Amino acid sequence: MKRAVSGLLAVALLLGLLGAGQAQTVRVGVTTKALDYLPIFLGKEKGLFREEGVNAELFVLGTSVRIFPALIGGSIEVFDSTLFVVLLGIEKGEKVEILGATTKHAQFHLVTKPEIRQVKDLMGKRVGSTGVGSGHYFSLIAFMEKQGMKFPGDYSVLTIGGTPEVWRSLEAGSIDAGVLAFPFHILARGKGFHMLAELYRHAQYPLTGITVKTDWAQRNEELLLRYLKGHLRAMEYTYTRGPEAEEVLIRVMGYQPDMARLGWEEYSRIGQWNRDLVISPDAVKTMMGFLIKTGEIKAPGEFSKYANPSYVAKANAQLKAR
């Protein structure tokens, strides 16, 4: 009897090991190795996705306006970036759906040349952004409109690339101002550039979120749920394992030790990483409001037109039931 039980345990262990080695690949497009994406990089490094039977393959593509076509074209299965381009795509008939938000706020800063001290000084100037349809772009337009600056007309917005490229252009003097995220606004301030505005204080909406093609999600629900569970576990791991998070920021994401520590502490303090991945109807409504103001769309549809929160709800429930 004992031999039989031992044999069964051995078989079960072997099957488990085989299963663990047969992780299914999910290709994920992200914007940059920015602090907002720490959970997904940390989750991959610590094997949290692998423990759910998922090989999360990460592709750093620079900006959401590059990631979205990759999703539509089938080069990736998961879009994890700024959601404005997704909303515009849905308005144009793309069959995709937002599953959840990965961050709470758009942590953007408007940084200018030292001599530009007021918003009105940007009249006729060039402002660098990651691209039309990106979070940088809409945060900038919304803020400038509140300050009485019209676009187009009063200033120009140049598509530069990712945040590192925007910073390099500002530093080189090829633009007069740029929309920067952590830690580049700190680097800029240290070199004498002027912090004109904290854009996230003027536009409250989730910076990044998870989007998939509707038909892919329907065909691969079990795989998708495993991916989401890995992501949820990575969120919790990020908040509770500071030293390990900082080590990944330094080793994998290229942060200097002081910036890694400062970044983790600041994002943890404000709760920037969205622990449960849930996206609210109000968040989508806010983003659609920006699209209406900028003339991108005329009127928004219902929340269900853009988002399907059921997968995230199932993943959360399955984790809680363990």
pLDDT at 21: 56
251 and 180 in a common domain: no
In a domain, 13, yes or no: no
Q: Map residue 28 onto helix, strand or coil.
A: strand
In a domain, 15, yes or no: no
Could you read off the pLDDT of 236-273 as tens digits, one per residue? 999 999 999 999 999 999 999 998 999 999 899 889 99
Min mean pLDDT across 13-22, 45-54, 311-320 is at 13-22
In a domain, 228, yes or no: yes
Residues 6 or more apart whose CB falls under 8 angstroms from that of 302 comprise none
In a domain, 261, yes or no: yes
263 and 175 in a common domain: no
In a domain, 11, yes or no: no
pLDDT at 309: 98
Q: What is the mean pLDDT of residues 210-229?
A: 98
Q: Which of 183, 201, 219 is the last residue of a domain?
A: 201
The total of other beta-carbon atoms located within 10 Å of residue 14's CB is: 10
In a domain, 3, yes or no: no
In a domain, 157, yes or no: yes
Average pLDDT for the chain: 89
Q: What is the mean pLDDT of residues 8-21?
A: 42
99 and 40 in a common domain: yes
Instruction: Give pTM, 2 decimals.
Output: 0.79
209 and 194 in a common domain: no
What percentage of the chain carries pLDDT values higher than 90?
Answer: 67
139 and 100 in a common domain: no
Q: Is residue 320's pLDDT more than 50?
A: yes
In a domain, 16, yes or no: no
Q: Is residue 5's pLDDT more than 60?
A: no
Q: Is residue 77's pLDDT more than 90?
A: yes
Q: Which two tokens stand for residue 134?
A: 């990106």
Cα separation, 58 vs 76, in Å, equals 9
**Domain CATH for 171:** 3.40.190.10
How many separate domains does the chain show? 2
Q: Is residue 18's pLDDT more than 60?
A: no
133 and 92 in a common domain: no
37 and 75 in a common domain: yes
Q: Which of 149, 184, 201 is the last residue of a domain?
A: 201
Min mean pLDDT across 76-90, 267-281, 287-301 is at 287-301
Show the domain range for 124.
Answer: 108-201
pLDDT at 11: 35
Could you read off the pLDDT of 110-152 as tens digits, one per residue? 999 999 999 999 999 999 987 776 777 878 888 898 899 998 8
Q: Which of 201, 223, 241 is the last residue of a domain?
A: 201
Residues 6 or more apart whose CB falls under 8 angstroms from that of 309 comprise 99, 100, 278, 279
Could you read off the pLDDT of 290-303 as tens digits, one per residue? 888 778 888 889 99
pLDDT at 219: 98
CA 173 distance to own-chain centroid: 28
